[in-house]
Amino acid sequence: MSEKPSNESTNIIKTKESIEWTDQNGRQRKVRRAIRTFWVEATELQICASSTSYEDELDLDNPMQISLQGKAKLEDRSIEIIGDHESRADLISIRLQHAIGDRHEWIFKDAPNGIIRQVILGYNAANWEIGNDSEWFVEISLGEDQIKILKTAVQNRSLSELKIGLYIPELYAEEWYAPPSAKIEWFILPEPIFMYGKVSSIVVRHNPVQLAESASKIDMDIQNAISGAAPDPIADSINMFGEKLGKLVQYIGWLVVFVFVICVALFRK
């Protein structure tokens, strides 16, 4: 039996297998749960620290909680709310935080649908009263070691790429059978506006480093390592000076020969 969620602007028909509606252009649309990963790629990140106390007394020892906040782009084309084309976007706000205390217990308890709540994906509509624009957001709880690695990489500016794959069952797509290489559009129902899921993959890449300046330096380092001799900066300077002096003497010798040949030619005339 079909279920029709109440929606003033769009007549949405929900069945066990799919969701159907008529868009603003009169086109019949049909989506199903997509059997693929929802990928977000961070475009900017900053380290944030926050502390909240709900006690009446002043708590000066309340520890600061570190999180990473910024923007991310979708690997696919876009995401939007069914029946609200204005919500379509390909950028999303992202927050990465360490799950501790009560939150650690909360994310690993099953939600009503049996979904682990490690990830929260949602949409905030614009509100002129408080001055915020419409935005998609995702909050991700990670382990302590994962947060430390990302924090260090952001601090020393070595992070070159961060991609996170999310498994969120309540995401829908028309191309639910599309391969991972295909770019698709994602959809969510108007209600509920927040969805839960978990992290399925994390890809972290750092900036490449220069492993060696030259082959000769590598050979010298290898020889020093084999012989057990430590690099001697004074000896290196003397050797470099000797090489330059030898080249200078060679140039002067060629110059003397050239001048001699010119002189001989002039005297013969």
- Write down the domain spans for the chain: 13-50+61-206, 215-268
The reported pTM is 0.69
Distance, CA of 159 to CA of 110 (rounded, Å)? 33
**Are the C-beta atoms of 86 and 123 separated by less than 8 Å?**
no
How confident is the model at residue 2, as a pLDDT?
Answer: 38
Q: What distance lies between CA 167 and its chain's CA centroid?
A: 17
How confident is the model at residue 194, as a pLDDT?
Answer: 87
Q: What letter would DSSP give residue 263?
A: H
**Helix (H) or strand (E) run with residue 196 in it:** strand 194-206
φ, ψ dihedrals at 148, nearest 5°: -65, -45
List the pLDDT tens digit at each of the 269 positions of the chain: 334 333 445 688 888 888 999 888 888 889 999 888 999 999 999 999 887 776 666 667 777 888 999 999 999 999 999 988 889 999 999 999 987 666 666 666 655 556 678 899 999 887 777 777 889 999 999 988 899 999 999 999 999 999 999 999 889 999 877 888 899 999 999 887 889 999 999 999 999 877 766 555 656 665 666 655 555 566 566 666 566 666 666 666 666 656 665 665 666 65
Cα dist from 216 to 77, 178, 212, 221, 223, whole Å:
49, 52, 10, 9, 11
